Amino acid sequence: MSVKLTIVTINYNNKEGLIKTFDSIKKQTWSDFEFLVIDGESTDGSKELIENNSKIDYWVSEKDSGVYNAMNKGIRKATGEYIIFMNSGDFFYDEFVLEKIRNQLDLNIDILYGDSVFFNDKGYRKVIKAPKNLTFGFFYDGGLNHQAAFIKRSLFSDYFFYNENYKICADWEFFIILVCIHNVSHKYLNEIICYYDFSGISAKLENLPIYIQEREATLNKYFPAYIEDAELTRESRAKRIKQVLHIKKYPVAWRIFKWMISIFLLFVPRLKNNSFRK
């Protein structure tokens, strides 16, 4: 009988984060999954921690050329129909996550995705809601967390593996191309899947130029006809924000504006508060 899900954890010298990830995976109430660990030849005690984890079905500790090289190693070793990457420092939202979504793995959907709690070591905590519908506009301004996505393993062999020339945006590139060009099937799970450690390489300010460069390279290569329209939409949104801020400078006009908005809000569904609560 084939395995429905493979969990892949990538690690390099992050023993403390690995402990959190291992603990989260061990506590899952549904445990009919394969668990792989790809370590980049860590020297901080991570390897010994991996060796002593009996829940791991396969692991390797060897040098790699980067996180996406390690992730591709995991994909090639995986046997599950779906893959989720829960890298060291990231962990499932609670022990019932896999129990709650396991039936969705039988629907033959290419990408299943949910919400994430972004956090860092400075005390930042926020639930980031994924959209019900994935569009080019969504990917142009943001993207999906691979820690909150269950990806059909066959997509990698049918289309392409992660771009190992990228340091930050290869998973974003994978999602935008498969969803917006190849129109693969996808479904929003309406569940919080993970805690995402927002203090990694992609969140560091010094890596912002790399982040921008990689995204622009993908957009220019695959979506040149869409870029101008997307920029016009972004500029239009910015212009509306400026107009609101201009109105706020004039107290009377601002009171009238808020009163009009309050009237309009009476006739639309109430906005949900998606912020994280302790």
Contacts with 256 (C-beta within 8 Å, 6 or more apart), sequence order? none
Can you read off the two tokens belonging to residue 13?
Answer: 């010298």
Is residue 271 assigned to a domain?
A: no
Quote the domain boundaries for residue 75: 5-222
105 and 202 share a domain? yes
CATH of the domain at 117: 3.90.550.10
Is residue 18 assigned to a domain?
A: yes
Number of domains the chain is built from: 2
Average pLDDT of the chain is 89
42 and 166 share a domain? yes
DSSP H or E stretch at residue 263? helix 251-265
Q: Using alpha carbons, select from 18, 12, 19 the residue that is nearest to residue 42.
A: 12
Is residue 20 assigned to a domain?
A: yes
Interval 123-137: pLDDT, tens: 889 999 999 999 998
163 and 245 share a domain? no
19 and 126 share a domain? yes
pLDDT at residue 278, rounded to an integer: 37
Interval 196-218: pLDDT, tens: 998 766 666 788 899 989 999 99
178 and 127 share a domain? yes
- What global pTM score does this model have? 0.83
199 and 253 share a domain? no
The least confident of 27-41, 71-85, 151-165, 260-274 is 260-274
Is residue 270 assigned to a domain?
A: no
212 and 229 share a domain? no
